[in-house]
Structure 1
């Protein structure tokens, strides 16, 4: 481990930390340590990091801004690479933009609305990064990433990088090819937007952002929606009908504002959240014969 740490530091790839608590890097504010934590300073440094990781046959995974992510209390063995500062570049070329995977989705949606570029209004209240949004085909208000993505620069499990077109991404509801079929993470993306009246775009985006603030508990640490909507049902409505709003295990509680959110009341462990997820799934199945599937990505002491 020390040898890999030394190699990464010698290569000057960016921030390199040992036993870094991942609670510091998730919106739920839970999660144990990463053996080695790297925040590359640019895409070249990311490539160099991957070379060192693969040469040493280290296990690895990538995270973004830490929303939609639940890290177990034991932490993650191997190397955790965070796409953040340095991989948050933005180029605007007319109606097309090229943006780094570490760029904040909310910040991007706000910036594009101010330029009168339409297409990202749905993302005005979605926390997380561009890379994470592409990975899970994030969406809201009747639209999603698949509607605007031209192509995505992907880092695959074997350390290789490749551009995939929209069609090659095989998008569907909250999923893409990157989740199981060809595991990988989005390092940068090209989006096709459309020039519209600036005021109209800003107002639509702000309305979406306000709706999120009014209906979702972002004043508490949380990971976003815990369950996928089992269409035609909605997870939050089923949880509310089951009387589970406010139900608490340890420091983890079902939000009283929105049933599909679990909040950290201040001292939650990942174990509390997992137990609460299992309890909700069991209750919903018993009451409605509906099997809930988690939307939040759960990662533990293995990769």
Structure 2
């Protein structure tokens, strides 16, 4: 109880909101997941440093969450503090043709900012439903472009609250991979290199790509985006479709009938439903095609509990 009081007081002092026993389904695009011990809306790097110091002192587990768009949260939730880098940690500023973005800024909002400034380079990424921090963590991409095409540098905070700058060369960016997946550090912000363009042309391309996304992807249902990584030499969606798995389901988890690369939540799907369905898909694809599929979403919490 004393620890809870101390944590509440710390959040009040820092001016950030906190929710206790908060269901993670409220904060993931899959709309799946049990409760975490505490859910904090981080509002600055200094606040983040203080919260990390608290977690060290209290021996509390913590996890970083952005828009929750590439996350599958366990049904048992997460037994620790979720540090949310979202709207309160999302400043965007311009310097010439470069944008500095805090990690909680969504790609959609950055895309809109770039459009209003007539800056080109964000068109293909603006439709991805995640924060820029999460996008860099996994080197997100769409329609032939990736974060690696526009990133200049990033600011990170280690477990001790020390900030450092990471250059693009140090990031080891590859297909859905980066050095951040192996480092114990938190991306707090980054600098993006865009180019001067024409508002009308930028808007036309953005509208065209968003239209294609709406037409081809099951955006009307909760999901974590693409469920499987692209195997070398092929496409997960093609292989899954080829195996006749569109519409396959476990509980309310279903391989989308619209796009085989997506597992969607048609109602009250659980983490267990999704993982059981994904195991079935992986096994079937391997048996019929020889390809081994890998899950793309990050699992938060222990799905076996």
TM-score by length of 1: 0.95
Report if aligned partners of 1:151, 1:190 keep a CA contact under 8 Å in 2. yes
Report if aligned partners of 1:32, 1:72 keep a CA contact under 8 Å in 2. yes
**Mind listing any 5+ residue stretches in structure 2 that lack a counterpart?**
none
Query: 2-side partners of 1:176 and 1:17: how far apart?
Result: 31
Query: 2-side partners of 1:195 and 1:240: how far apart?
Result: 41
Task: Map Cα deviations across residues 232-275 of structure 1 (whole Å, 9 max, x no partner).
Answer: 20001111111111111001001011111011111111100010
Indicate the residue corresponding to 2:9 in structure 1.
Answer: 10
Q: Secondary structure of 2:232's partner?
A: coil
User: In the TM superposition, what is the alpha-carbon distance from 1:5 to its structure 2 partner?
Assistant: 2.8
User: In the TM superposition, what is the alpha-carbon distance from 1:159 to its structure 2 partner?
Assistant: 4.2
Indicate the residue corresponding to 1:300 in structure 2.
Answer: 301
Aligned with 2:166 (options 140, 164, 167): 164
User: In the TM superposition, what is the alpha-carbon distance from 1:199 to its structure 2 partner?
Assistant: 1.3
Q: Secondary structure of 1:229's partner?
A: coil
Report if aligned partners of 1:124, 1:208 keep a CA contact under 8 Å in 2. no
Indicate the residue corresponding to 1:23 in structure 2.
Answer: 25
Runs of 4+ with >6 A deviation? none
Task: Map Cα deviations across residues 93-150 of structure 1 (whole Å, 9 max, x no partner).
Answer: 1201111111111121122123210111111210011110010001111111111111
Query: 1-side partners of 2:186 and 2:219: how far apart?
Result: 26
Query: 1-side partners of 2:88 and 2:227: how far apart?
Result: 29
Task: Map Cα deviations across residues 24-76 of structure 1 (whole Å, 9 max, x no partner).
Answer: 00000000111121111222211111111112121111010000100010111
* Matched length: 300
Residue 68 (str. 1) matches residue 67 (str. 2) = no
Q: Secondary structure of 2:181's partner?
A: coil
Q: Secondary structure of 1:178's partner?
A: helix
Most deviating of 41-50 and 91-100 = 41-50
Indicate the residue corresponding to 1:217 in structure 2.
Answer: 218
Query: 1-side partners of 2:177 and 2:202: how far apart?
Result: 27
Q: Secondary structure of 1:123's partner?
A: coil
Indicate the residue corresponding to 1:288 in structure 2.
Answer: 289
Indicate the residue corresponding to 2:44 in structure 1.
Answer: 42
TM-score by length of 2: 0.95
Query: 2-side partners of 1:215 and 1:75: how far apart?
Result: 32
Residue pairs, 1:120-269, within 5 angstroms = 120-180=122-182, 182-269=183-270
**Mind listing any 5+ residue stretches in structure 1 that lack a counterpart?**
none
CA RMSD of aligned residues (A): 1.4
Report if aligned partners of 1:63, 1:80 keep a CA contact under 8 Å in 2. yes
Most deviating of 246-255 and 148-157 = 148-157
Query: 1-side partners of 2:56 and 2:4: how far apart?
Result: 14
Distance 1:116 1:37, change over 3 A: same
Query: 2-side partners of 1:157 and 1:43: how far apart?
Result: 13
Report if aligned partners of 2:52, 2:160 keep a CA contact under 8 Å in 1. no
